[in-house]
Amino acid sequence: MHELEFIEKNLKELKNKMNSFVTDHNDILTSLYPSNKRSAENLLHYLILRNEDIRSLQDRLHNQGLSSLTSSESHVMRQLQMILRRLGNDIPDSELSVLDYITGKKIISERSRELFGSKKTSGIPFLMVTFDTDFADNYNLVRKLLLSGMNIARINCAHDDEEIWIRMIDNVKKASADTGIPCKIYMDLAGPKLRTSVLGKGRKEKKISVKEGELIFLAEQDSDFDPLLKVVGCDENGIINDLKVGERILFDDGLIESVITECNNGIAVLKIQRISAKKSLLKSEKGINFPDSKLFIPALTSYDVSVLPFICNYSDMIGLSFVRDTADIELLQKQIKLNDSTAHLILKIETTEAVNNLPSLLIQGMKDKCFGVMIARGDLAVEIGFERMSEIQEEILWICEAAHIPVIWATQVLETLNKSGIATRSEVTDAAHSIMAECVMLNKGEYIIEVIKTLLDILQRSGTHHIKKRYVFRNMNIASRFIQKLN
């Protein structure tokens, strides 16, 4: 078979699979907010494309000077149709997908403005800054943040209370009025806090020593056990009944890894597999991650529900922490409507389940007019493994682009600079990659103003080379200098 005939045959097969998949699952589209239907259709097309291994086809396309379908996330069908046209296929204008590159880019841009507001500099992401308790009484710092480039103020509702939050919000509104710079309010729900407690040996000291190969116990808070045993409690009751032998449990941001060897009557026996901490201690109030387990706990806690009226009244965006499945999103969507709020939902992707269920989560989110996704890279890296973080964060970006959903790139951006005043080489590279998202979140820190200045400089430089993950060729100084030298 001739090379071009091979390419044409494969592209037609892909196109037919995409069309059939959408036809077979048209019920998904009918339940969505009307303006999101074409985005959802594009998402389904993209998922079919990424279900295939087309690397050989891509090489052949590239070798023929044709688009290899990379960077086509926002307009998959149109890109495929245009290649077929170049190969001589008669596809009338009336059959072309309305989602071309320009339209897909425009949709994401419009939704970003609706979520994040307006900003002076186009071509670089919006900037979100996490507030600390002392921001409530530091108007001058809030004003400096706005003047430096902050577009969104983030309040983490796992900390402080409504009295502190309202003072933070008042400072933002006052600074915005004084400077004429708009600023959105984003508030994170706390979600279920899975934290340790020491119940047996070491209870008084709130810590126990552990070693690799040792057996310890994970128990409900009210379980009966020998006080001389090493027993760790979880502050969320009912979890242990959801666990299975062979599943991993991670403690303290993944520094201690264990595996379940037995699980009966509300007590799990854990074997310590790995200790990466300098001190082999398991302390109270440390995070617990269950990367292999399906936990039947609501994403909205009773505390979250109690503060939701305040959050719905004052925030522009509400972050849903520890999303696992569509039921979590549906619950918050109903609560927002009950509170008669116009706040937009932000899905925080920070669990293995959320990654695995991402397409379904996005489709559930599309029942609202507009929403966003946050790649919460802290807990997510612990859950999926640090070695997979680069791969997974890019996959989330691609899938969200296919659905035309704005993304927030979060956690530890220029963290060392923020804490010490000096950036590491690797985090500068990481910060440059954040240009692929629509918004970048910065944590609080002593050098936050310097961090914003540095990040904007990095993003402005990167932004002339990238649009999302697509490289664009502005004039390269290295090339210009060489040519000028020769001339």
Residue 320 is predicted with a pLDDT of 95
∠ CA 318-322-328, nearest 5°, is 70
Residue 62 is predicted with a pLDDT of 92
CA–CA gap between residue 58 and residue 46 (Å, rounded): 15
∠ CA 127-312-109, nearest 5°, is 35
Residue 111 is predicted with a pLDDT of 97
Residue 45 is predicted with a pLDDT of 92
pLDDT per residue as tens, the chain (487 positions): 589 999 999 999 999 999 999 999 999 999 999 999 999 999 999 999 988 888 889 889 999 999 998 889 999 999 999 999 999 999 999 999 999 999 999 999 999 999 999 988 878 899 999 999 999 999 999 999 999 999 999 999 999 999 999 999 999 999 999 999 999 999 999 988 788 888 888 888 999 999 999 999 998 776 667 778 899 988 777 788 889 999 999 999 889 999 999 998 788 999 999 999 888 899 999 989 999 998 888 889 899 999 999 999 999 999 999 899 999 999 999 999 999 999 999 999 999 899 989 999 999 999 999 999 999 988 888 888 888 888 889 889 999 999 999 999 998 888 888 888 887 888 888 888 888 899 999 988 888 999 888 888 888 877 666 666 665 445 546 456 644 766 5
- Measured in residues, the chain has a length of 487
Extract the tokens encoding 202: 């070491």
Residue 456 is predicted with a pLDDT of 87
Domain ranges across the chain: 3-99, 108-191+298-471, 196-289
Evaluate whether 436 touches 468 at the Cβ level (below 8 Å). Answer: yes
Task: State whether residue 324 is helix, strand or coil.
Answer: coil
CA–CA gap between residue 24 and residue 37 (Å, rounded): 15
According to CATH, the superfamily of the domain at 108-191+298-471 is Phosphoenolpyruvate-binding domains (3.20.20.60)
Domain 196-289 fold is M1 Pyruvate Kinase; Domain 3 (2.40.33)
Evaluate whether 380 touches 348 at the Cβ level (below 8 Å). Answer: no
Extract the tokens encoding 160: 């402080």
